[in-house]
Structure 1
């Protein structure tokens, strides 16, 4: 088994919940193999880089082993190397309710303390 379809591989290694979701991601342009847009039938072989957008994150994986059948999660993670960069933690932002009016003097002091504590 030298290569398989990208939609089948994405489903088999549990990057998508179903093969239909994987094919839909390919159709929507959310899957790239070696920096080229991939259709569902695009072949994937060992050494290929696959980028897939799942939800709001982009996963970048390198194919280590080609499988066609869905396997357990412990075995699925051995089929790829995750090269996704680590995202920086989100910084909390001070927000006010829309229509709350101008901040009071006390509110401004709280905001100033919040801003200076982050720097």
Structure 2
């Protein structure tokens, strides 16, 4: 096994991105940092490097504990990095807020038959 792997290959092999080109776009777009620096796709990743990976609205902070040049199963991919406790807490809190907002937004929209009739009764009382 090699001592270092290209960043775009590592991100792809650990399933953070579906393709290497998506990984390269994220790196070019500033969504990925290694040890606090903005890297190029060809930057080599080594064991114990700290990565910040932005994917959509989510931000992952991971420590590299293994290397792979080829795409591996999801279970094997999770064994190649360790996510920090703060990252897990922040991500779960963000997902919970998003879930709450979606549930609250489900109430909005067009009223159903019962709600429409209740609105009509209120309007007729106020006239």
TM-score range, shorter chain: 0.7 to 0.9
The C-alpha deviation readout for 1:3-43, integer Å capped at 9, x for no partner, is: 01111000000011110000000110111000101110111
The C-alpha deviation readout for 1:48-72, integer Å capped at 9, x for no partner, is: 0011111111111110001100011
Partner in structure 1 of residue 68 of structure 2: 67
Partner in structure 2 of residue 11 of structure 1: 12
Partner in structure 2 of residue 20 of structure 1: 21
- Give ranges in structure 1 of 5+ residues lacking alignment: 98-105, 107-119
- Give ranges in structure 2 of 5+ residues lacking alignment: 110-121, 123-127
Aligned residue pair count? 98
TM-score by length of 1: 0.74
TM-score by length of 2: 0.70
Question: Residues 96, 69 of structure 1: CA spacing in aligned structure 2 closer, same or farther, 3 A cutoff?
Answer: closer
* Alignment map for 1:1-119 (pairs within 5 Å): 1-83=2-84, 84-87=87-90, 88=93, 89-90=96-97, 92=101
Q: CA RMSD in A?
A: 1.9
